Amino acid sequence: MIRAVIFWFGVLCVGFTALQYITQILWATLSGRLLRDHRSGSRPLALAKITSDDAVPGVTMILPAYNEEAVITHTAVSALAQEYPKLEVIIVNDGSKDNTLQVLIDRFDMEPFDDDPQQGVIPTCDLFTIYRSRSEHRIVVVDKAGSGAKADNVNVGINLASHPWVVVMDGDEFLEPDSIGRCMAEVLVEPGEIAAIGGTLLPSNSIVIDGPNIVERHAPTNYWVGCQLIEYLTAFLLARPGLARIGAMPFVSGGFGMYRRDSVVAAGGYKHGHLGEDMDMCLSVQRTLADTDMGNAVIQVPESVCWTEFPSTKDVLRRQRIRWHRGLKMALDDHGSMFGRRRYGRVGTVGIGSLYVLEWLGPLLEATGWVIMAMMLAIGWISPLGAMFIFLFTQFLGMAMTMLAVAMMTTHLRVFNGFKDTLRMMVWAIALNWGYRQLTLVWRIRSLFPGEAGWGEMPRSGFKTESSAGGNLETVNA
């Protein structure tokens, strides 16, 4: 009986491993085709039109901020520097205890515009004052009661947005100047069909900025940040574009996501108290629009790059991954009924199915596979040499995929151009598979059991800036 259980569990785990790598190869192939499509056809013409035509759809950028006095102006400046003609920036101050509000007032010469703002279509916490700039008409600052929730802050921005498209970011991020334009070029190519757009997140830990410009870009030297970079490249250049290519992408990243404003309002806005509010929002949008027969495509534009600070210590990274996995489970609890239903198309089959099998159950199945292999070794079903071969073969497959992600980075994004940076990324692509990946596997399994659910404090090193006089480097601490 025990041997039969071991055998069938072994078959299950082998099947899961095969499915995992087959899907990775499939997504990578489809991603290559999507990136090729973006360089040909009508995309370049649409991008050229965007930079010279005021008749394009307007975009509102929403930046929630809590205790961001040291970095918020840099984020705002990068937002205002977007090469897009019709832009609005709304910064939502969530009851910051530092000088975030005053820094914004001083930097942009803000004055009160509305001392008694009313609730919008989506319920939120109380708003205190809305400020407008005397020097830059495109920026608005909202001072509100502290909620400690990103969802509430984003909902405030959605209520106040005056344009049909909204971009949701964090208050400590830095956008490439063409990021919004590249996303909106896709909207011009497929008007009325797109509901949400995702970009690529990269680590700001090792870039140097000067005003709205990035003057130095280097691959990370920190072990934790370097391994995360490879994870993100695998997700944003191999997996998500492949899912988007067949219309099966279930969500966009919360660090940089663009939505049609009416679709977010129709879905009821961001949900309070949800550990995976960004995934929940995207699935809610797709579900609501599919139920009303409206265009609900979610696409990925890998060339739209947003720089954000990655956790640089093990403890902060551990808390992040535990929360992410619990947020995934909450989203599946809320939207799992989409699975297999024809109304929701490939998102309901391939998208939700991959979240269930590869993302949520994946860590448990992978760990079970290694336990089963150890048991087979103990009872003599496989030899030590055979066990070693299986281990090295799976490691080789993992390294092949991470090396492919580095290759896609160097050929398509090209944000790190130096030989040393490429070599460093190759080192991280190997290192990720030997220790880091196994550790994050343990953390994701840990999330299946009761325990801590909060973010905790994330110490930030801030942006490195180059002063205009003398070229000295300063670190803007957050």
Q: What is the pLDDT of residue 41?
A: 61
Q: Is the pLDDT of residue 11 over 80?
A: no
Q: How far apart are CA 449 and CA 460, in angstroms?
A: 29
Residue type, 375: M
Sequence-ordered strand ranges (E) for 146-224:
165-169, 173-175, 194-203, 207-210, 213-217
| Phi, psi of 175, deg, nearest 5 | -100, 140
Q: Is the pLDDT of residue 49 over 90?
A: no
The answer to pTM > 0.85 is yes
CATH node for 20-359: 3.90.550.10
- CA quadruple 329, 324, 404, 361: dihedral sign: negative
CB 281 within 8 A of CB 271: yes
Q: What is the pLDDT of residues 251-278, one digit of tens each?
A: 998 889 999 999 999 999 999 888 888 9
Q: What is the pLDDT of residues 131-165, one digit of tens each?
A: 999 999 999 999 988 877 888 999 999 999 999 99
- Return the DSSP state at 338: G
Pairing of β 194-203 and β 297-308: parallel
Confidence of residue 455 (pLDDT cuts 50, 70, 90): low
Would you call 477 helix, strand, or coil by DSSP?
coil
Q: What is the pLDDT of residue 369?
A: 85
Cα within 13 Å of Cα(191), Cβ side:
5
Q: What is the pLDDT of residue 243?
A: 94
- CA quadruple 331, 334, 340, 343: dihedral sign: negative
Q: How far apart are CA 464 and CA 461, in angstroms?
A: 8
Q: Is the pLDDT of residue 475 over 60?
A: no
Neighbours of 109 (CB within 10 A): 13
Confidence of residue 4 (pLDDT cuts 50, 70, 90): confident
The residues spanned by each domain of the chain are: 20-359
Q: How far apart are CA 241 and CA 203, in angstroms?
A: 19
Closest by CA position to 77, among listed 163, 171, 217: 171
